[in-house]
Structure 1
């Protein structure tokens, strides 16, 4: 037994030596991780001379293809023995897959020359102008060489190294630049596309999504090493802090987008409170990234991402269960990005091996998410375009009818000019009849232009014209005048839940219910969308409020029945009445009534509020 122990002690130095890694030129990268040995330096004060004198037993095999040691501030020394078995010299590149390493020193690449690089060292110190750490070296025919690498970082101590010939590296770089160009090009297209829709529709969800994609693009630009190469090659402190800052910034706009797309504002107030807490946490992480300890900001950004993933999954599931249609596509697209992001974060801890898949997991997930959201947004645009085509077809039909009438008139005039006296009176009568029909058609078109095609009510143009006349008459007679601004509550939910055809039927139903209670000299118009306006002559504030309550109760108590569906509706109404003075104008009436309407919405909807001017404080 004693002899066996002595034999093992004699063999320990031999077993401690790393196996020599033979290098042969090929298109496939070589992963040197399993051939490496590592020694951890907790204080980070050892130099190359003391490391070379370490006993063989101090070195431990890496046994991982990515040489990952999780989040640790230790300095890690890696030893690698290389051999060129071929008869010709070969130029090699040792490519470090983690561009966020703070410092990386390499010994043995080029004689006594030391490679010193990392994202906490000026970019110009790198031997190769590359976003990642690329270490070039040459091996002569039959040469053996020992390399020592020292890495230390406040982030993930993940080397993810690969060896490839210079020619294979060039081919690899061309493919990667093409893929990265396509990726960032797709993100840029999505930013421009959604910003354009926001400018046209003023829907803030498109703005939040554009800002999310922009901040996520910045995050990826930093993570992949492009930012240090092209944006701030000498701003090392900011570069280190920009990683958790951009992550929290993307999370901030992602929360706003989620809150809007899932329509959480109209649901239980707990949704909004949780979103506000997450937004506050995002701002706190951004503040820590700018002025606090880097490690705290980094851990905070990961914790924030995990919290958003959990609550996002809960919110989406609950809204899906509520029958909210956008929740299905949102759940599918958003889960792709969140799962990929969590996959990338976990790989940084060393729990799973780092690879090209983990390095680009967020890019893959974000592209899948972009495709799914683009389909949803495209369907929405398609519905709008279809409605526009129907309206254009109606205009073209009217124009065609007018051209036919004009052609008939020209034909009659040509026959009259032919000198056929026997038929002069007959053709003259026909011409007069045609002109009369054309005049009536023009009058009908003019009258149609004053009405809303869907509800049959007067449109906003008539409101502007008639309100001026009614206001002038009220000023002359010194009689009160009232304006009602009415809005169907949560009408977007009706369209989302039942479709636009049912929504149109609900608008027609509400318009008819309100029209039945109007007096002959009152004016009821469709103001736009689900908004209506009414002008009441000789009506005081109390009278206007009474009528508004009748309208509100009537609409609430008579659901819209359409194709076996009973759709309940409710009205929020703003009232403004006064005896107009000489300086009172139309805009003032509409503006004050609109303020009262917004007060009704803010106070819970399905109610009537009147505008009361603020009284000046007594001196």
Structure 2
């Protein structure tokens, strides 16, 4: 218990000692610091201040309070380099009320304010040109920090001033205290005056843009771009660019000056060259203006180098732009005067406009280069000159437009007068030529009509010949394709069989000889059938009457069908396939007997070819609703796909051939001949098939007229495919 009490008393003693030491340091520092009593209204601190130069720039407040500050006059020049400057002073509020002031220490890159209140608390505020608007103590373009002082009190203030780039590092120490009301009033005045100025620039830019769209004169476009550059520069200068365009990019805002002024200067030079037509009237001065425009590449390069590297060239870039800008203004004024001296009337407006602008801009440039003091005259002279220049340039452009319009109108009138004179002469020539032309046209029209008739007749003949040749060429291609592919296999098989018989007959058994002979006979028959079908198809395609004749007659249908069934009986028996024939009685048709037998045999042969052993083939013949007989061949075979069915009867392409269930081959010509023969006899043929469900072919043939004698059918010379 006693031990804990001793520790508590020791801790309290240490805290009291620390507070006393801090109070003593504060009192000593306050005694050394300059005391500034608050005054009503704006207050410029003129008295010498306590300053410490932190060359390393890394010391904090705790370290700085232990350093020795030296007295420095506000007119003294601050050391160059990256030195951080600490200012110590005491702000005294003698009023019985709390006072608030806005402290402005100049355009430093970064400014930090430490307020040590009487109760020992430390309050930190910051601002600066390289801080985003949102990070500043007072969110506006001018870097203010707020100071609140208790009634009848003294507050120790430490001010840390840091200049990261030379552009934002004032040469002299200057502190100014302003009331919140004064800051608000000054900001409102800035918004009002500069808002009117920017509004004038925007209105005149839009006005000249409309003129450019109307007359397509590049002078107006260049002037619009120059006005845009002017507006952007003064938005930058008065803080609107940072506040409105890029509030979170203060570093870019500092470097944008090099690009905005370059943009403005180049388009002013282009406007001067175009407006005064220096290329034609003053080629020497035109080269001078071009050279000045090229000089702007130097500050642009310096700005880029300063922005993307650690090399600080921005202050030198500003000075160089000022020199180039001054030279540009003087050159514009001289060129305008020379152009007016040479008799170009619109140059008078150009000279007066540039005279006011050049005087105002030179005052402003000299103020920015610190060669003239910062006064309202030097601050706003450029803007006043620009407004006067805008008005006079607009008048000059309007006068130039009127001059050009008048010249164009005179040229148009002169052209019309010349055209009227030529029109009179032209009419006389036209009347004379009209009569000659009418006679010539009449003669040539008659000749053309005759030639046209001859050409039409020739074209018709050529088209007919072309179609005939195309058809014959297609037949030839199909014929050769079949010969090259389908004749090889039977001949090769026959050659192989004969080779075996010649070389190995003495070693073969009789049953082997019989089997080989049967195969040879089958191959010869297939070859014979193929050749006969080729001849039949070729004759049908060319319409040759020597090969295929058409002799319709009355045919007893059941006799014709029975004859063809008998011819194919052995082929069906070889695969154990049976018939089921249903034929109407007394059904006589009128058709070519050979063609009809060919169609029936082909359909039956295909049914046998694609049927499995032991299946049944159905054949039906009946009357239709019209005067036609319908013959149907239906099998239970392997069927066909839809794409195969679509190509069966096509004359444009041969049907897709498929091997039979016993590897029987075909040519794809049989069904095409069936279609040709059926249609030749006045009928139609159809097919229906699905894979695995067999196929059904049916066709129609005209009925024989009553009283027509019929012919008994015998075996025909046409064989099945």
TM-score (norm 1): 0.54
- Could you tell me which residue of structure 1 aligns to residue 316 of structure 2? 299
Residue 466 of structure 2 is aligned to residue 457 of structure 1: no
- Could you tell me which residue of structure 1 aligns to residue 530 of structure 2? none
- Could you tell me which residue of structure 2 aligns to residue 152 of structure 1? 163
- Could you tell me which residue of structure 1 aligns to residue 140 of structure 2? 130
Q: Measure how far apart 1:326 and its partner are.
A: 4.5
Q: For 1:97-246, what aligned pairs fall within 5 Å after superposition? A: 98=107, 101-108=108-115, 112-147=122-157, 148-154=159-165, 155-158=167-170, 162-246=176-260
Q: Measure how far apart 1:89 and its partner are.
A: 1.7
Q: For 1:284-433, what aligned pairs fall within 5 Å after superposition? A: 284-292=298-306, 295-314=312-331, 316-317=333-334, 319-321=336-338, 323=341, 324-355=344-375, 358-380=378-400
Deviations, residues 270-304 of structure 1 (Å, cap 9, x unaligned): 32322222222223432432344563355234323
- Could you tell me which residue of structure 2 aligns to residue 589 of structure 1? none
In structure 2, relative to structure 1, the CA distance for the partners of 1:124 and 1:75 (3 Å cut) is same
Matched residues in 2 for 1:328 and 1:73: separation? 51
Matched residues in 1 for 2:422 and 2:148: separation? 84
In structure 2, relative to structure 1, the CA distance for the partners of 1:352 and 1:149 (3 Å cut) is farther
In structure 2, relative to structure 1, the CA distance for the partners of 1:350 and 1:376 (3 Å cut) is same
Any conservation in 2 of the 1:131–1:229 contact (CA below 8 Å)? yes
Name the count of aligned residue pairs. 390
Matched residues in 2 for 1:221 and 1:171: separation? 19
Q: Measure how far apart 1:152 and its partner are.
A: 0.8
Consecutive unaligned residues of structure 2, counting only runs of 5 or more, are 1-27, 438-721
- Could you tell me which residue of structure 2 aligns to residue 88 of structure 1? 97
Any conservation in 2 of the 1:20–1:81 contact (CA below 8 Å)? yes
Q: For 1:477-488, what aligned pairs fall within 5 Å after superposition? A: none
Question: In angstroms, what is the RMSD of aligned CA positions?
Answer: 4.3
Q: Which moved more, 1:193-202 or 1:115-124?
A: 115-124
Any conservation in 1 of the 2:258–2:321 contact (CA below 8 Å)? no
Matched residues in 1 for 2:127 and 2:421: separation? 69
Deviations, residues 428-482 of structure 1 (Å, cap 9, x unaligned): xxxxxxxxxxxxxxxxxxxxxx99545762469999xx89x99xx99x99xxxxx
Aligned to 1:269, which of 259, 283, 286?
283
- Could you tell me which residue of structure 2 aligns to residue 598 of structure 1? none
Q: Measure how far apart 1:356 and its partner are.
A: 5.3
SS of 2:199 mapped into structure 1:
helix
Matched residues in 2 for 1:372 and 1:339: separation? 15
Any conservation in 1 of the 2:109–2:163 contact (CA below 8 Å)? yes
- Could you tell me which residue of structure 2 aligns to residue 22 of structure 1? 37
SS of 1:295 mapped into structure 2:
coil
Q: Which is greater in Rg?
A: 2
- Could you tell me which residue of structure 1 aligns to residue 264 of structure 2? 250
Deviations, residues 185-230 of structure 1 (Å, cap 9, x unaligned): 1111121111111111222121111111112222222222222222
In structure 2, relative to structure 1, the CA distance for the partners of 1:298 and 1:38 (3 Å cut) is same
Any conservation in 2 of the 1:108–1:146 contact (CA below 8 Å)? yes
Matched residues in 2 for 1:212 and 1:345: separation? 18
Q: Measure how far apart 1:39 and its partner are.
A: 5.0
Matched residues in 2 for 1:336 and 1:72: separation? 39
Higher relative contact order (CA 8 A, sep 6+): 1
- Could you tell me which residue of structure 2 aligns to residue 3 of structure 1? none
In structure 2, relative to structure 1, the CA distance for the partners of 1:39 and 1:327 (3 Å cut) is farther
In structure 2, relative to structure 1, the CA distance for the partners of 1:185 and 1:318 (3 Å cut) is closer
Q: Measure how far apart 1:373 and its partner are.
A: 2.6
Any conservation in 2 of the 1:306–1:342 contact (CA below 8 Å)? no
TM-score (norm 2): 0.47
Deviations, residues 8-47 of structure 1 (Å, cap 9, x unaligned): xxxxx99x96754332333xx3333566565554543444
Any conservation in 2 of the 1:209–1:254 contact (CA below 8 Å)? yes
In structure 2, relative to structure 1, the CA distance for the partners of 1:458 and 1:31 (3 Å cut) is farther
Matched residues in 1 for 2:45 and 2:394: separation? 41
Matched residues in 2 for 1:71 and 1:341: separation? 29
Q: Which moved more, 1:133-142 or 1:183-192?
A: 133-142
Any conservation in 2 of the 1:81–1:144 contact (CA below 8 Å)? yes
Any conservation in 1 of the 2:269–2:332 contact (CA below 8 Å)? no
In structure 2, relative to structure 1, the CA distance for the partners of 1:358 and 1:71 (3 Å cut) is farther
Q: Which moved more, 1:193-202 or 1:68-77?
A: 68-77
- Could you tell me which residue of structure 2 aligns to residue 59 of structure 1? 71
SS of 1:106 mapped into structure 2:
strand
Matched residues in 1 for 2:51 and 2:390: separation? 41
SS of 1:31 mapped into structure 2:
strand
